[in-house]
Structure 1
Amino acid sequence: MKQKTPSFWYRPAQSRPPLKERFLAPLSRLYMLGYRTHRLFVKPQKASIPVLCVGNLVAGGTGKTPAAICLVETLHKHGLARNPYFLVRGYGGAEIGPLLVDPAKHTAWDTGDEALLLARSAPTIVSPNRVIGAQMAADRGADIIIMDDGLQNPGIHKDIKLAVINGEMGFGNGKTLPAGPLRQPLAQGLQQVDAFILVGEDKRDALKLIPEGKTILRAALKTSDHADISKKKTYLAFAGIGYPQKFFTFLQETVGLNLAEAVPFPDHYPYEESDLKMLHEKARALGAELLTTEKDFLRLPKIENITVHTLPVDMVWNDEDAVLRHFESALPRTRP
């Protein structure tokens, strides 16, 4: 089972590194050795259609799935993508792929929760081998591929690389896994990325680290118009995502909900009936109702008479015209 995100990953920049972080530093060096060695022996293969990758430089939730959905909808709405396809690894799912996701048939246990969410907006292919998945999309008539995650995957050439930055989290303590959240050395990652999507306010001064000349697109998260929530009610919120506290803070500070309690679980946590019953009893004792993310809801067992509310979240651009200008100039250079 994956562990919860260590608090020291996002400690204040000027604070003294805790003992555990210093203890893990040698393992970070081993991680980087493996990362660099893997890239030495893998040559990126170019797909027959443009590949746009929406990823991040840190492990855990930065909002890349809402960003990928928002980007596809924007490109399609303005005619920059006629038939876009999502391509994902399918983390947490049993299907090996390549597989076209069918939301009416597949579950999170088949394809992973992200794939099911993406499939609501555009055709989605699950394939750990991204090259094979890209070819399947091209064979089905896709004119562009949007990868949700995979920025550090060297197997497929990416025509445009986007990194999502969560303003609350930034780049954490600046250390690579497992001493910190970075998936690769920060300086290297910042240079490799073509443009950055900053979600929310830049509370950790991440933008000061962005190299001059790089495009920065700003966005924000908002609750969907279809959200089944009420400020008059009290909720017990729970989440098994990369950074659960981000969700809880959003509920309280942005949405303005009253939380009786917030219960974090490890990322991609496979909920069992006992977990849901425990949460239900806890909520009932507090006079609260259960509330979670859309991703978590897809991994919940169904138990009669236990209702769990979800909070659908959409990403919106601060300046959509700036987004269009960037991709109108970038996309033609990548078309075959």
Structure 2
Amino acid sequence: MPRGQAPAFWYGAQPVPRWARSLVPLYRLLRLIDHARYALGLRRIQRLPVPVIVIGNLGVGGSGKTPLTLALIESLHAAGWHPGVVSRGYGGMQRTPHLLAAADTAARVGDEPLLLQRRGQVPVAVGARRADAARLLLARGVDVILSDDGLQHRALGRDIEVCVIDGVRRFGNGRLLPAGPLREPATRLAGVDFVVCNGGAAQPGEVPMSLQAGTPYALAAGAAAPPPGAEVHAIAGIGDPARFFATLRALGYRVHEHAFADHHAYVAADFAFDDGALPLLMTEKDAVKCVAFARRHWWALPVRAQLPPGFVIALLQRLAAVTVLSLPRVSQPR
């Protein structure tokens, strides 16, 4: 298992180690302290003058938030909105509020924000204090803000919460960190506006989502993309690398797997296995970190979230409703 990947006992039948069980009460206590600070007014929730849609999950690791965010950006544009994205910028060095520019790198702003900016063609801001970063978007004419992976970030007020679930792994063993993958208990779902199930079988009340693979594109000028049936190397530095490898096999590729930790900062030495004899496929999230030293036979596989039209309609209706009801906005305790 690559360093940084989920422990096997989170999603397998292995017993949870005693050390992990013993730390759960401490994690619960830290959560209670955080909630108490807001309840007592020691910290304030920052409200913005535009609606905020939070897209997050309950667990650690990938669940499909980035493809969903890209799909919502497209739907909002089609409905006449001007969306922007705010993110902590996990994996990047930037801590103060920063509006992404063309010259930014994943090392500075994080891989997911960079991908969202380039694929979504929208303003993206990062910073440890999301509310401050989000204010940078207002000067760009943004009239709705998508908060990437902000479900547990209470400081930024929100109007709509969307929780994404990995439909295959679900909640693993159902335990809180570090005994399990959950940052919040599954009962938290009762308080969100929409629950989106990525893959697997959606449960009652959940919105089904699937990822449709597109055509691989070259990271550098190269030959034609490898056809289905080709033998390829594949790398994945995402929350669940097995999902990407399974997608490639479903497309007909014969895959040599190379899994890395989520948000892995690639260097050329990571590709010592690549002698140039086989094409190499990777996710788009990996690709934004590899362009600088990409070789002619390296390819990225784009994916697109498929969602039922009813979900998009319901979200746009909810957005229109909160826009009318929630202004003017001020910072307030909650």
Settle same-fold status: TM greater than 0.5. Answer: yes
Aligned to 2:111: 113
Specify the code of the residue in structure 1 equivalent to 2:110: G
**Alignment pair present for 1:18 and 2:8:** no
Question: How far is 1:323 from its partner?
Answer: 1.9
Aligned to 1:289: 279
Aligned to 1:211: none
Aligned to 1:99: 98
Contact 1:271 1:301 in 2 (8 A): no
Question: How far is 1:19 from its partner?
Answer: 4.6
Whole-angstrom CA distance in 1 between matches of 2:292 and 2:159? 41
Question: How far is 1:183 from its partner?
Answer: 0.9
Whole-angstrom CA distance in 2 between matches of 1:193 and 1:271? 35
Specify the code of the residue in structure 2 equivalent to 1:239: A
Change in CA separation of 1:231 and 1:2 when aligned onto 2, cut-off 3 Å:
same
Match of 2:267 among 264, 272, 283: 272
Whole-angstrom CA distance in 2 between matches of 1:264 and 1:140? 38
Specify the code of the residue in structure 1 equivalent to 2:106: A
Match of 1:37 among 33, 38, 41: 33
Change in CA separation of 1:201 and 1:95 when aligned onto 2, cut-off 3 Å:
same
Of 296-305 and 193-202, deviating more is 296-305
SS at 2:274's partner residue? helix
Please give the root-mean-square deviation of Cα atoms over the aligned residues, in Å.
2.1
Specify the code of the residue in structure 2 equivalent to 1:141: G
Of 120-129 and 52-61, deviating more is 120-129
Between the two proteins, the alignment pairs up a number of residues equal to: 309
Identity %: 34
Which structure has the higher relative contact order (CA within 8 Å, separation 6+)?
Answer: 2
Whole-angstrom CA distance in 1 between matches of 2:296 and 2:36? 51
Match of 2:257 among 262, 276, 280: 262
Question: How far is 1:166 from its partner?
Answer: 1.7
Specify the code of the residue in structure 2 equivalent to 1:35: R
Contact 2:174 2:180 in 1 (8 A): yes
Ranges in structure 1 where 5+ consecutive residues have no aligned partner? 209-214
Q: What are the within-5 Å matches in structure 2 for residues 134-213 of structure 1?
A: 134-187=134-187, 189-202=188-201, 207=203
Question: How far is 1:305 from its partner?
Answer: 4.9
Question: How far is 1:262 from its partner?
Answer: 0.7
Question: How far is 1:296 from its partner?
Answer: 1.2
Question: How far is 1:31 from its partner?
Answer: 1.6
Question: How far is 1:273 from its partner?
Answer: 2.3
Deviations 1:89-120 (A, max 9, x none): 11111222321112x31111111111111112
Deviations 1:209-241 (A, max 9, x none): xxxxxx532221011245444214211111111
Contact 2:215 2:301 in 1 (8 A): no
SS at 1:331's partner residue? helix
Contact 2:236 2:283 in 1 (8 A): yes
Question: How far is 1:279 from its partner?
Answer: 2.7
Contact 1:61 1:241 in 2 (8 A): yes
Specify the code of the residue in structure 2 equivalent to 1:280: D
Whole-angstrom CA distance in 1 between matches of 2:288 and 2:21? 36
Specify the code of the residue in structure 1 equivalent to 2:11: Y
Whole-angstrom CA distance in 2 between matches of 1:302 and 1:139? 31
